[in-house]
Structure 1
Amino acid sequence: MKIQYFPETDTLAIELTNKPVASTDAITNDLILDYDEQGKPVAITLDNCSKNVDSVYLQTLNLPLMSSNYEQIGS
């Protein structure tokens, strides 16, 4: 699993596997799910992250300090 935060766009990207994306579903304006050929989740994208996630959780992940190459929390 790979978690990246992009402060310039306030976007949190969570890559669950390295499988290719076959389809994408916008759950809300800020939440996007990507799926593989079998319909299993591949990635989660959360736009406007700081408005959608409690700051306590962001601090726990050190997101404000992360670079865009940050790889996280055991696979």
Structure 2
Amino acid sequence: MKVIYDPETDTLSIIFRKTKVSESDELREGIIIDYGQDGKIVSMEILDASEQVSEPQGIFYELKGKKDIVV
């Protein structure tokens, strides 16, 4: 999984797996879900991320059973 924040476009992208996107749906205004040919989620984009997410530049990552990691 890869998380990318682009401050120039104010877009937060979460890429779950590397595969070609065959379809995209706008879940609601500013939130786009991309699907592969198998129908599984490939990635998610959040437009105007600074308005949607409290700190898009800092990521808090939690792995169950492990200590919290701040990136």
TM-score normalized by structure 1?
A: 0.72
Unmatched 5+ stretches in structure 2: 61-70
> How many residue pairs are counted as aligned between the two chains?
61
Give 4+ residue runs of structure 1 displaced > 6 Å after superposition: none
Quick one: distance in 2 between partners of 1:8 and 1:40? Answer: 29
TM-score normalized by structure 2?
A: 0.75
- Specify the alignment match of 2:19 in structure 1: 19
Quick one: distance in 2 between partners of 1:59 and 1:4? Answer: 9
**Taking every aligned residue pair, what percent have the same amino acid on both sides?**
34
Q: Which amino acid aligns with 1:18?
A: K
**SS of equivalent residue, structure 1 residue 51:** helix
- The 1:27–1:52 alpha-carbon spacing in structure 2 relative to 1, beyond 3 Å, is same
Q: CA RMSD in A?
A: 1.9
Q: How does 1:1-75 map to 2 (within 5 A)?
A: 1-55=1-55, 58=56, 60-61=58-59
Higher relative contact order (CA 8 A, sep 6+): 1
Unmatched 5+ stretches in structure 1: 63-72
Quick one: distance in 2 between partners of 1:59 and 1:23? Answer: 28
Larger radius of gyration: 2
**SS of equivalent residue, structure 1 residue 27:** strand
- The 1:15–1:61 alpha-carbon spacing in structure 2 relative to 1, beyond 3 Å, is same
Q: Which has the larger helix fraction?
A: 1
